[in-house]
Amino acid sequence: MPIEFAKYHGLGNDFILIDNRHSSEPVITPEQAVDLCDRHFGIGADGVIFALPGQNDTDYTMRIFNSDGSEPEMCGNGIRCLAKFIADLEGSEIHPPQPPLAKGGSESKTEYRIHTGAGVIITELRSDGQVKVDMGVPRLLAAEIPTTLAAADAKAIDVPIKVADKSWSVTCVSMGNPHCITFVEDVSAVALETVGPQFEHNKAFPQRTNTEFIQVVRSDYVKMRVWERGAGVTLACGTGACAAVVAGVLVGKCDRATAVELPGGVLEIEWAEVSGRIYMTGPAQRVFTGCMSD
């Protein structure tokens, strides 16, 4: 049966979006997702995202298959794309007449509560076209990440690890998915394709890990390159940018509000001091729509 899709990207981190609201299970398999994500023989993407019915008082449920067929808990750039996709879907549908709005009411919904494998994520579509996401509270205990670089009930902050015959100092953070952050003098000098897989599959990370390499330009501005678990080198990683700022604050290198420059563009990240919640703001853009068939 033909399946309609849309292609979106967040700072070059690109996804195939599928309207899956009629079913609580994805309409394609992880193996099919691998074929669709192939940039030579398929549509080409870093992952396939499904907009499923909401659960537990949420508006929608998000699931995602990476380009290697694995399923991550969440994706920061992906959830911004999903929010735009949902808004486009709702905007294209014919709705029955609505009663007059109360004074001060809004003509369109700009906020969505989305159920993910990392918990409930709240997205807000702003009038300037940016999407602001409440990413929740970062998890710092080794058991929560998970990693064996510290005791289960301790934090892995600025700890050593040997990868690719070199000793690195890393900080580990979970944004609902695992991240390993290391600060370097020059991100452009990192052999990402060589070092990235060795971090991802290191035995210190039983569920594998995303790895962020960070160059501090100023305390409120950093450059980042990322090796994503299950996707490899990508142009941007939203959860990685959040984790990087958390790590930067923990080791005294970053402000709580820091701009993160990735190869695909800039994300604005804020780690609120009182609530402890992380907020990510960045773009999401539709590239094209299409229809796939057997």
pLDDT, tens only, 159-182: 999 999 999 999 999 999 999 999
The dihedrals phi and psi of 228, each to the nearest 5 degrees, come to -90, 135
- Region 152-156: mean pLDDT is 98
276 contacts 137 by C-beta, under 8 angstroms: yes
Residue 277 has, within 13 A of its CA and on its CB side, a CA count of 11
Q: Is residue 146 reached through a cis peptide bond, with omega within 30 degrees of 0 on the bond before it?
A: yes
SS3 266: strand
The residue whose two tokens read 């563009």 is 265
pLDDT score, position 294:
63
Mean pLDDT of the 105-118 span? 78
Distance, CA of 86 to CA of 79 (rounded, Å): 10
Determine how β-strand 257-262 pairs with β-strand 111-116: unpaired
Is the distance from CB of 258 to CB of 220 less than 8 angstroms?
yes
Pick from 76-80, 109-113, 207-211: least confident: 109-113
pLDDT higher than 70, residue 99: no
Q: What is the per-residue pLDDT across 4-47, written as a single tens digit (0 to 9) for each?
A: 999 999 999 999 999 999 999 999 999 999 999 999 999 999 99
Q: Please give the sequence-ordered ranges of beta strands (E in DSSP) within the chain, or none if there are none.
A: 3-10, 13-19, 47-53, 60-66, 111-116, 119-125, 131-136, 159-163, 166-174, 178-183, 210-218, 221-228, 232-234, 257-262, 265-271, 278-282, 285-292
- Please say if the pLDDT value at position 93 is more than 70: no
CA distances 88 to 21, 75, 105, 108, 125, Å, are 14, 20, 21, 11, 11
Contact 104, 31 (CB under 8 A): no
Does 101 score more than 80 pLDDT?
no
Higher pLDDT, 278 or 99: 278
Q: Across the chain, what does the average pLDDT equal?
A: 94
pLDDT of residue 109: 55
- The tokens describing 288, both together, are 């094209």
Given pLDDT bands bounded at 50, 70 and 90, which one contains residue 95? very low
Answer for the pair 20, 6: CB distance below 8 angstroms, yes or no.
no
CA–CA separation, 44 and 33 (whole Å) = 10
Catalytic residue list = 75, 237
